[in-house]
Amino acid sequence: MKVITLLTDFGYEDTYVAQMKGVILNIAGDVKIVDLSHALSRHNIEEGAFLLYTSIPYFPRGSIHVAVVDPGVGTERRGILVRTEDYYLVGPDNGLLVPAAKRCKDFDVFEITNESLLLPLITHTFHARDVFAPVAAHLANGIPPEGIGKKIQDFVDFDIEFGRVEDGKILGKVIHIDRFGNIITNVEGNLIVRHAKYGDVLHVEIGKKRLSLPFLKTYGYAEKGKPLVTIGGNGYVEISINQGNASEKFGAKAGMEIILSL
């Protein structure tokens, strides 16, 4: 049984995701559909790329990952599929899929051109259902990328901007807010452990906020309701509150700059 994952900015209130699943199941009934997330910030390609990049290593070889954060839907932007040595990626040609593809040494990109495999009526505003869902299903049924489109080299390239050190400070930004209100940054955990140890107090700047927070191994080492800096499950620095909501307390949103220093 093939695994097909879905990552979108559609939210859970409407029927968009369910319609995608219906299309997939009509074409390839013997599949397992897994929702990565549908709650990322609207139109935020980098956030979507980050969530895809950090999630795909945990899925079986041969999985098909459909990702749709598509502010250019219905324009001249192309639909693509990417073949790597471990999995397939399907979505818009806007850079969203590329960081995940680059986790493998080699990958091929195909423009989706075989319209006979898509839904009969392709709307201008819902390529996730009309184009990308059918392509994923046909891949699950064994149709190779060469039967779906043509190989291209001029795809839209994109790299996630990760944190860096400048003048003794770690510079980064907020990349995602999870449902607990944890402020997940683009700063890799190994970057901070080179400059600080557990128990150190870090000076943190988020937007106009200036904070002094302990660097702790996990949430429970802070008192309930108290903030901390930690390294989250995906290996990136988080600003959190033990059993609280850090993003609400500090007014953090995806894209905000962050500075960490001793």
**Token representation of residue 105:** 């040494």
pLDDT, residue 46, reads: 98
* pTM: predicted TM-score of the whole model, two decimal places: 0.96
Residue with tokens 């807010």: 177
Q: Which domains does the chain have, with CATH numbers?
A: 2-152 (3.40.50.10790), 164-261 (2.40.30.90)
207-235: burial string, b at 16+ Cβ within 10 Å, e else: eeeebebbbbeebeebeeebbbbbbbebe
Whole-angstrom Cα distance, residue 184 to residue 7?
Answer: 18
Give residue-wise pLDDT tens across range 163-201.
999 998 999 999 999 999 999 999 999 999 998 999 999
pLDDT, residue 184, reads: 98
Dihedral of CA atoms 78, 82, 87, 92 in degrees, nearest 10, equals -20
Give residue-wise pLDDT tens across range 25-55.
999 989 999 999 999 999 999 999 999 999 9
pLDDT, residue 105, reads: 79
Whole-angstrom Cα distance, residue 213 to residue 228?
Answer: 5
Specify which residues 210 forms β-bridges with: 205
pLDDT, residue 135, reads: 99
**pLDDT > 70 fraction of the chain, expressed in percent and rounded:** 100
Give residue-wise pLDDT tens across range 235-259.
999 999 999 999 999 999 999 999 9
Is 130 a residue whose pLDDT tops 90?
yes
Residue with tokens 């993003």: 247
Q: List, as one string, the DSSP characters of 215-248.
A: B-SSGGGSPTT-EEEEE-TTSEEEEEETTS-HHH
Distance of alpha carbon 185 from the chain centroid: 13
Residue with tokens 């209100």: 181
Give residue-wise pLDDT tens across range 72-115.
999 999 999 999 999 999 999 999 999 999 998 799 999 999 99
- Whole-number mean pLDDT of the chain? 97
Residue 21: CB atoms within 10 A of its CB come to 17
Stretch 199-205: mean pLDDT, rounded?
97
Whole-angstrom Cα distance, residue 181 to residue 76?
Answer: 37
Is 262 a residue whose pLDDT tops 90?
no
The pLDDT-based confidence of 234 (bands split at 50, 70, 90) is very high
